[in-house]
Amino acid sequence: MQYYSLNRQSPPVDFKEAAIHGQAPDKGLYFPEHIPVFDSSFFHNIEKMSNEEIAYQVIQPYVGNSIPEKILRKIISETINFPIPLAKLNEKIYSLELFYGPTLAFKDVGARFMSRCLGYFAKERNEKLVVLVATSGDTGGAVANGFYEVKGVDVVILYPSAKVSMVQEKQLTTLGKNIHALEVNGNFDDCQQLVKQAFADKEVKQKIFLTSANSINIARWLPQQFYYFFAYRQWPDKKHPPVISVPSGNFGNLCAAVLSHASGLPVQHFIAACNVNDVVPEFLKTGDYHPKKTIATISNAMDVGDPNNFIRILEIFEEDISELKRILSAFSITDDETRATIKKVYRQYHYVLDPHGAVGYLSLERFLKKNPGLKGIFVETAHPVKFYDVVEPVIEEKIPLPPAVQGIMDKYKVATKMDVDYNSLKKFLLKL
């Protein structure tokens, strides 16, 4: 499999080169030259297959010869060695629970897969890799955990000060060793812009081998398809495929879901479930794409005013907007609506939503009201304990701490504070 730049000014590369470099030399995102399509027999037999075998069949065409089969299967086994269940809330709505990984968020799958791929590639090079990533919340912890103590790799994580939850901050600032946290006096878009400046800096690129762990990197983006194949494996009504509602910020997760569908996965419709950062909902209404300044919300991991991965969704549809609208709807949900949804779902089903899952649930519920014959899945992207300061006052109960969180809450945060100043970031990187 070869990958081309969406800016179309760089030569195509294989999986290894695309994963190591993160972004093309022309600053475009990499995209596969073709999308593998499964035969219908794959889906007829999917219930008989293990998650590991499904994941291998999904990702192998994208990896090609870059990683030997035995090693790729080991990487997959380590990536998904926790449950990914589909939980029924009522006759029409199911929750895809992606919070059983080590950092209690959906990004564990992509981060673990990518870290192991880059760890394998780093062994082949006599050069240290520096992974540079911006986070709006969950990416930082997942990347920190995935790359912790991986030989030959240093990780630098930029996060917006006072705009991530306490649990999220602890997960990315308490590991130390090869994990470095930079607390930026700004918002996520500021962090992301600093990262982009570093990748565009020729001096930095000459002195250190820089790559990205955001969902712009194919090694983090592509394995997110796994969730949707696993969900379909558990879906009880194979004759009537589900509607899938995906909480969306930088749009990597939804893009992976849409890519799965392009590979043949039966899905009735997709929903981009957004908070008040509504660039994509507005685009689907007006046809005009206008990035906006990020608005801080209680679903902070989705606080993105210029989502990087939406361009990949457009590429999947070959920029046919009418076809995109046929497959994809979008909703914008306020913080008040999010809180009301958390309260309502807890009272009705004794099910605790995190703020992102609540946005996904309400978006799905609204779509199903307009389309009463359908059923669907919303993606519960993080454990509600990661947002206990938001959720507990709403449900008026304490959320028990899972073991993965208990061990870090008393640890000291270690982070370097910085303003939105590229020279400060550059000096930090060149000292590594």
Please report the pLDDT score of residue 211 as a whole number: 87
Sequence spans of domains, the chain: 83-105+221-400
Residue 137: strand, helix, or coil: coil
At 236 the pLDDT is 96
Residue pair 45/224 in contact by the 8 Å Cβ criterion: no
- For 41, other C-beta atoms within 10 Å of its C-beta total 8
> Residue 18: pLDDT band by 50, 70, 90 thresholds?
very high
**Reported confidence tier of residue 270, pLDDT bands at 50, 70, 90:** very high
Q: How far apart are CA 330 and CA 275, in angstroms?
A: 10
- Considering only residues 278 and 136, tell me which one the structure prediction assigns the higher pLDDT: 278
Q: How far apart are CA 172 and CA 388, in angstroms?
A: 17
Beta bridge partners of 156: 132, 180
User: Which pLDDT tens digit goes with each residue over 28-49?
Assistant: 999 999 999 999 999 999 999 9
Assign domain 83-105+221-400 to its CATH architecture: 3-Layer(aba) Sandwich (3.40)
Please give the backbone phi and psi of residue 65, each rounded to the nearest 5 degrees, phi first: -90, 10
Highest mean pLDDT among 137-141, 267-271, 397-401: 267-271
Q: Angle at the Cα of 46 (from 44 to 52), degrees rounded to 5? A: 160
Alpha helices in 217-265 (DSSP H): 218-221, 225-234, 252-262
Q: Which of 105, 201, 212 is nearest to 157 (CA)?
A: 212
What is the percentage of the chain residues whose pLDDT exceeds 90?
Answer: 81
Say which residue the tokens 């893009």 belong to.
Answer: 255
pLDDT of residue 240: 96
pLDDT of residue 192: 87
The Cα 414–Cα 219 span in angstroms is: 28
**Structure tokens belonging to residue 247:** 């909480």
* pTM of the predicted model over 0.85: yes
pLDDT in tens, 239-260: 999 999 999 999 999 999 999 9
Average pLDDT for the chain: 94
Instruction: Average the pLDDT over 403-420 and give the result.
Output: 90
How distant, in Å, are the alpha carbons of 34, 256, 270, 309 from that of 259?
11, 5, 11, 12
Q: Alpha-carbon distance 253 to 110, whole Å?
A: 10
Q: Tens digits of per-residue pLDDT, 156-208? A: 999 999 998 888 899 999 999 999 999 999 998 899 899 989 988 989 988 88
d(C-alpha 360, C-alpha 333), whole Å: 9
**What is the structure's pLDDT at 248?**
96
Task: For residue range 391-410, list pLDDT tens digits in order.
Answer: 999 999 999 988 878 888 88
Share of the chain above pLDDT 70, in %: 100
Confidence of residue 15 (pLDDT cuts 50, 70, 90): very high
Which pLDDT does position 381 carry in this prediction? 96
pLDDT, residue 214, reads: 78
Quick one: average pLDDT of 150-159?
Answer: 92
Which pLDDT does position 343 carry in this prediction? 98
Tell me the backbone φ, ψ of residue 159, rounded to 5 degrees: -135, 150
Query: Is 413 strand, coil or helix?
Result: coil
